[in-house]
Amino acid sequence: MPQGTFFFLVKHELAARGSKLRLGKWLWIYGGLLLLLAAVAVAIWGNNADYDPSYFMFTAYVFPFMIFGFAVEALKREWAEGTIGWWLSLPHSRVQLLGAKAIAAWIRFTSYVLLYFAVVLLLDVYSVAMYGDRVTSVKGMLVLEAQLFGILVGISPVMLAIGLLFVAVRRSGLKPLLPLLWLLMGIGGNVFGWMTGGGQLTVYGSDENLGPLVYPIWIWLWLIPIWAIAALLFAATIKVCDKHLER
């Protein structure tokens, strides 16, 4: 394959999705309004002694399911737009074609996560300015976000692979396997919660309480079998696309 062709495929996938989301200035207007509403909510809710900006991080448990949805959408689009035959006939391997979709979906996912974490960090700065040491420090929030981001990125390959395999199986003669894939999606989506301790995610205080923010080494070691499972699922998707796909 000529150098740069794979990156062209990724760029094509991003452009195919981006063409549907050209909201221009309205995207920034709505985003600014949401941030303003969040700041107002913090000003009101912050008077509660139990308030802490780290509560906003519980939304992170939605992100694994988001990347599954992005992967489903990326492959499903070929049937929706009637381009599945053209896509399969491209002079590239299934690894390259599916890999481009996976990476494009991962880029979208990472962009959303970074944007959300940046907004939460701004709310934390605002909260610290208003309420001082009663809430999680900016340094504490940065440490928490960095670790959660690392875990989200670490488990994202398996959710991407499940999403791609789900669509491939649904469009093949292997449809009886769909309930199993639904179950696998539920398990994979909840891995993030199990790895981060669920309700133990929230932290309080300033720099003195940074200890609980550091997740143990075994959490990161779990990423090794997760990546191995993702590789197997991706290989299964390639097999389905090669042998069983309905055009």
- Total domains in the chain come to 1
Residues 115 and 233: their CA atoms lie apart, in Å, by: 29
The continuous run of DSSP H or E covering 87 comes out as helix 84-88
Residues 108 and 14: their CA atoms lie apart, in Å, by: 8
Q: Is the pLDDT of residue 211 over 80?
A: no
- Whether this prediction's pTM lies above 0.95 is answered by no
Q: Which of 136-150, 198-212, 228-242 has the lowest mean pLDDT?
A: 198-212
The continuous run of DSSP H or E covering 115 comes out as helix 94-131
Q: Which of 183 and 241 is assigned the larger pLDDT?
A: 183
Q: What is the pLDDT of residues 163-210, one digit of tens each?
A: 999 999 999 889 899 999 999 999 999 988 888 775 455 444 444 443
Q: What is the pLDDT of residue 244?
A: 64
Q: Is the pLDDT of residue 214 over 90?
A: no
Q: What is the pLDDT of residue 89?
A: 85
Range of the domain at 230: 5-243
Q: What is the pLDDT of residues 49-73, one digit of tens each?
A: 778 888 888 888 899 999 999 999 9
